[in-house]
Amino acid sequence: MNHIAMYIGYNSAWFLMIVIAIVSFIVQWRFKSKFNQYAEMPLLSGLSGQEVAERMLRDNGIYDVEVISVEGELTDHYNPENKTVNLSPDVYNGRSVASAAVAAHECGHAVQHAKAYSWLSLRSAIVPVINVASTLTQWTLFIGVLLLFFIHSPYVLAIGVAALALVTTFSFITLPVEFDASRRALAWLNNNYTVMQTREEHEQAKDALWWAAMTYVVAALSALATLLYYASLLFNRRD
């Protein structure tokens, strides 16, 4: 019975990982497709991503955050350590619906920081631990599986599974942070017709941010599926 349970557990985990990988590919493709589509739609206001970001920060009473341009594609992020909204060149200089949506989303994180949003505070607090855990998973999982099967020692794999559990938890903590940042961005855009002047522009921004949020959802599910796979190896083999 134990062998049957192991077989079912392994195959179920593999099937789940394959399904999530396919879904992740579709979501990533859809997000990039949407972003490229809305990047071709100029804002009637003519504002750049930089100008949108600076205006949103100012409207929220935030004057100690700098908006800067960083190299790369889709490298946009907010850095709470040095209080910078980092926008990729296409977003920073772009004057499209996509640029405005992304810029406002990243400023949503700055607003979270200014208001001490609990989920962002929690995520920021555990980043050092997650960095260590991510490093551990790179070698403990592979070596742990080898040791488990060849000398029946579960300890290294157990460390890897514990580290992976922390990384997976971090992925799920990220979800409310990202969804809330988009909510704040869309609320601000909806109330500022000097930025987005039509309902159509707002709906396009909402659509772009929704698909961006879905990439975080599938990333969290992928991390969970990976965790379940290695956990099944560890606990079924020990049985």
At 85 the three-state DSSP class reads strand
The reply to whether 40 belongs to the active site is: no
Helix (H) or strand (E) holding 175: helix 155-190
What is the C-alpha to C-alpha distance for residues 116 and 41, in angstroms, rounded to an integer?
34
At 174 the three-state DSSP class reads helix
Residue 219 near residue 31, CB atoms below 8 Å: no
Catalytic residue among 106, 178, 200, 203: 106
Q: Which residues fall within 8 angstroms of residue 55, CB to CB, at 6 or more apart? A: 47, 192, 195
Q: Which residues fall within 8 angstroms of residue 203, CB to CB, at 6 or more apart? A: none
CB under 8 A, 24+ apart: contacts of 65-72 = 65/107, 65/110, 67/92, 67/103, 68/92, 69/93
Residues marked active site are found at 106
